[in-house]
Structure 1
Amino acid sequence: MVEQALEILRRYPPGARDGQSLWVRPAGGPIRKGKRRGLSKLPSDWRGQMLFRSGLPLDMKVPLMIAAITGLRPSELARSVLVDAGPDQIRISIQGAKVTETSGQPLRRLSFDAGTRIAKVLHILASNRGGQFQVAIPDPRAFSDTVRRLSRRLFPAAGYVASPYSFRHAFAADRKAEGTSRDELAQMLGHVSERSQQAYGVARQGRMPLAPVQAVAASRAVVQRVELKRWAAAKQLDQPAPPPGPTSDGFCPPPNAP
């Protein structure tokens, strides 16, 4: 429906008469293109600059760190994220958004080496609070506005304004450049279908990861597109045909695990 409306606007722009369009580009710079394409316009270290040159207070900087190293959605940050410190690693547990009976990961957990800069900060914060702490934002829209304002201030000539979803695209691009398997990346992004990741990042945009992912676990196994359709059909018929279920700790075995 949106595409149809845009096509109508292209053919019959507002104020058009006698074949002449009176439509003008709104003020504020060029029309924003897709977030995945726009990443190439930002400096190669744009995430590091936004995290460590932002001047944001700690309560805003920590959610930004979580978004940068996990690629989670802003709506998932609003649900509260658990940061847990192990001896040499941190584990970040995320309650998924866009979850239905046949799509999305209700829960996923990413583990990181605590030696990298961002992971080290999160590890210290967790250790100082008894080993774990919760991170949440009160309003995803306000958080997104903060990220955009910060991007405009730091990169005024970029021609592209970063948003929280830019971190998600960059996260996926890094993983693809590393050669992460499709199943693992699907679980990292909170997908149950291995094809959903096609919408996020491309390998040529990958940079040195801010914090390499050591392991991932999710509450649902990843299924192929054909299998997902069969599963959805089985759900409609109330037939028990789901993919493998989680273990006692709430997570499915890692992809390709014996």
Structure 2
Amino acid sequence: MSLQPHQSWSPATPETAHQFTEAWLANRRLSEHTRTAYRRDVRTWLTWCADRGLEPLRATFLDVNTYARQLETRLAPATVARKLSGVSSWYDFLVKLQAVTTNPVGGADRPYVDRDHSATLGLTPEEVDALLAAAATAGKRTHAMLTLLADLGLRVSELVGLDLIDMSYERGHRTVRFTGKGGKARRRALTPATAQVLDEWLTERGLAAGPLFRTSTGGRVDRYAVFRLIRRLATQAGIAEAGRLSPHSLRHAFATTARAEGVPLEDVQDAMGHADPRTTRRYDRDRHNLDRDPTYTIAAARARRNSA
């Protein structure tokens, strides 16, 4: 069935709700990981409505508030906010279809999320080195995956989505192309050291087309395998709280180290694919370091003037 504005859908059946969801996702430029997460978030909301005999097309902000408060009993505020964001986008689509007149999430009381803080556990440069050393003993594929995460600050979805065809050359640089958040096509340079680690894996992997990082059966390595791998290697390397680490920990370390080494904020932002520089600053765990307080720079400049 083709969905068109002005069509009557009240009450919505599970089949119609599924059609809404698939049409909504088809109209968005999203990575497969984001698409899967949004589909899951809407399904969770629809199941919650069904369990209470609530027609989702007649839900109000009060219903969304009740749903959110229940989620908050077991999930972090940032996770609840993300789930509500997906449901809100779904309702925005239904408003455009004129299936509903208003978005009930719009008037809901969403949880406060500190945009200046990330709950992701970060890593020091020394811990990153230890993790890479452990990866080097675990096989060429493992070493290559963790090196790309550490040296490029990739999202895990970007890493596992890479194909052999994404490896290229541009203006004297070895490069890797990938689809970033929001479906944006992006490319990054590979340093000689990073390229060497990757080439060692490519030699072992062979030249067959397909996923860059394959399983023993030829399938694509999934993001959950990378999570488990990082925690196992972190335990092996003796890193504290290894069980709380994630691929995103390496992404945080990338941002923090780049800023500590003097890379301009806008360059780090571009490298990480952030639309908002505030997001990049949130990743920088060293941003409140008093050694970087501008007062020292101002005082040094004044001292130079006074001594001239």
TM-score range, shorter chain: 0.5 to 0.7
State how 1:83-98 maps to structure 2 within 5 Å: 83-85=167-169, 89-97=173-181
Corresponding residue to 2:197 among 110, 114, 121: 121
Higher helix share: 2
Query: Residue in 2 aligned with 1:199?
Result: 282
Query: Residue in 2 aligned with 1:49?
Result: 130
User: Aligned with 2:167: secondary structure?
Assistant: strand
Instruction: Confirm or deny that 1:159 pairs with 2:237.
Output: no
* Unmatched runs of 5 consecutive residues or more in structure 2: 1-67, 77-117, 214-219, 290-308
**Pairs aligned (count):** 169
Counterpart of 1:135 in structure 2: which amino acid?
L
CA distance 1:56–1:159, change in 2 (3 Å): same
Q: Distance in 1 between matches of 2:210 and 2:168?
A: 7
Instruction: Confirm or deny that 1:79 pairs with 2:156.
Output: no
CA distance 1:191–1:152, change in 2 (3 Å): same
> So what's the TM-score if we normalise by structure 2?
0.45
Q: How far does residue 181 in structure 1 lie from its aligned partner after superposition?
A: 2.7
> So what's the TM-score if we normalise by structure 1?
0.53
Q: How far does residue 50 in structure 1 lie from its aligned partner after superposition?
A: 1.9
* Unmatched runs of 5 consecutive residues or more in structure 1: 10-32, 100-104, 207-258
Contact residue 84 and residue 91 of structure 1 kept, 8 A? yes
User: Aligned with 1:195: secondary structure?
Assistant: helix
Counterpart of 1:72 in structure 2: which amino acid?
L
Query: Residue in 2 aligned with 1:34?
Result: 119
Query: Residue in 1 aligned with 2:223?
Result: 140
Corresponding residue to 1:186 among 269, 274, 281: 269
Q: How far does residue 53 in structure 1 lie from its aligned partner after superposition?
A: 2.6
Contact residue 173 and residue 202 of structure 1 kept, 8 A? yes
Q: Which has the higher contact order (CA 8 A, sep 6+)?
A: 1
Q: How far does residue 67 in structure 1 lie from its aligned partner after superposition?
A: 0.7
**C-alpha distance after superposition, 1:199-233 (max 9, x if no partner):** 21233699xxxxxxxxxxxxxxxxxxxxxxxxxxx
Higher strand share: 1
Instruction: Confirm or deny that 1:59 pairs with 2:141.
Output: yes
